[in-house]
Amino acid sequence: MQILDGQALDSSPAMNRDPFLVIDNVSKVYPTPNGPYTVLDGIDLTVYEGEFICVIGHSGCGKSTLLNMVAGFNKPTTGEVRLQTKRITQPGPDRMMVFQNYALLPWMSAFENVYLGVDEVYPDKPRAEKVKIVREHLAMVGLTEAADKKPGQLSGGMKQRVAIARALAIRPEVLILDEPFGALDAITKEELQEELLQIWRDHRCTVMMITHDIDEALFLADRLVMMTNGPSAQIGEVLEIPFPRPRDRAQLLESPEYYSLRNYALDFLYSRFALAH
Ligand SMILES: Nc1ncnc2c1ncn2[C@@H]1O[C@H](COP(=O)(O)OP(=O)(O)OP(=O)(O)O)[C@@H](O)[C@H]1O
């Protein structure tokens, strides 16, 4: 097991060693009626191209705030986030976000929800090409048959598949996932985790994903970023997940190293940074 702190990230498993996504000394202070509230304080993280990063930490520590700054929906109070040396100041098609609550337009079919994003980013492509992109991505998440259904006619897992297809159809460099499987039952969640890994391998994108589920993080991530509690949350530790890919869930569960990493992460969350009650 290799434990790294938030600064020393020299042993990342990613192949390309050039910094790709850099969170550089980022702090975030929200104004509140009771005065300034420092959510994040001095976050440093270097992500390499093609890495799969999971972020874990107690509720309210600032995980969504951090990922929203990567997405460009929110701005750091101090410090900056850079993608390939370019400072992120607003949302862009190079970074797509998937939320826990799917965020689909309820009056549009699955096809139309995905088409909308493709059309917005590639307005000049011929319609036939855009339709092809949408169909390919719906097929990739196993939704060809459900293309004409509206979100209200889809299960939670299917809705999240549409949201993932919508994000990936515009070929982002970074896929940002804010607890995407948190509302799904255990079996659907495992299916979607497998699909996500397959898609990540095929698309070769970089992933940052918030989860509350340590087993999910150990199955998916190259590195697990563990945040301390807020206010003024920081990156407490970055845990490298050394299991070879493709990962087999049953095999992982037989590995003693799996349990030592799991216990380490649990200890971080529930002993060292337990929430006061
Ligand atoms: N616009 C805002 N103004 C003031 N405070 C905010 C604002 N947005 C978030 N906060 C506060 O910042 C803290 C961090 O919120 P954030 O949603 O980033 O945490 P989180 O770790 O993602 O939580 P959860 O796991 O529950 O989703 C919380 O205390 C929240 O109330």
pLDDT digits (tens, 9 = 90+) for 79-91: 999 999 999 999 9
The pLDDT of residue 3: 46
The pLDDT of residue 8: 36
The pLDDT of residue 9: 38
Q: Where are the domains of the chain?
A: 2-94+212-272
| Contact between 164 and 141 (Cβ < 8 Å) | yes
- Say how many Å lie between the CA of residue 60 and the centre of ligand 1: 5
User: pLDDT grade, residue 183 (50/70/90)?
Assistant: confident
Q: Domain 2-94+212-272: which CATH class?
A: alpha beta
Q: Is residue 16 predicted with pLDDT exceeding 80?
A: no
Whether 67 lines ligand 1, by a CB cut-off of 6 Å, is no
User: pLDDT grade, residue 277 (50/70/90)?
Assistant: low
Q: To the nearest whole number, what is the mean pLDDT of the chain?
A: 91
The pLDDT of residue 1: 46
Of 11-20, 51-60, 97-106, the least confident: 11-20
Can you give the pTM of this predicted structure?
0.92
Nearest residue by C-alpha to atom 7 in ligand 1: 30
Q: How many residues does the chain have?
A: 277
Q: Is residue 267 predicted with pLDDT exceeding 50?
A: yes
Whether 28 lines ligand 1, by a CB cut-off of 6 Å, is no
Best substitution site from 32, 39, 99 to test ligand 1's pocket, by max atoms within 8 Å of Cβ? 39
Nearest residue by C-alpha to atom 17 in ligand 1: 64
The pLDDT of residue 15: 60
| Contact between 178 and 99 (Cβ < 8 Å) | yes
Q: Is residue 5 predicted with pLDDT exceeding 90?
A: no
- Say how many Å lie between the CA of residue 210 and the centre of ligand 1: 13
Q: Is residue 255 predicted with pLDDT exceeding 50?
A: yes
Residue 72: closest CA among 82, 61, 63: 82
The pLDDT of residue 272: 84
pLDDT digits (tens, 9 = 90+) for 124-180: 999 999 999 999 999 988 999 999 999 999 999 999 999 999 999 999 999 999 999
- Say how many Å lie between the CA of residue 114 and the centre of ligand 1: 29
- Say how many Å lie between the CA of residue 50 and the centre of ligand 1: 28
Q: Provide the ipTM.
A: 0.98
Mean pLDDT of 45-71: 96
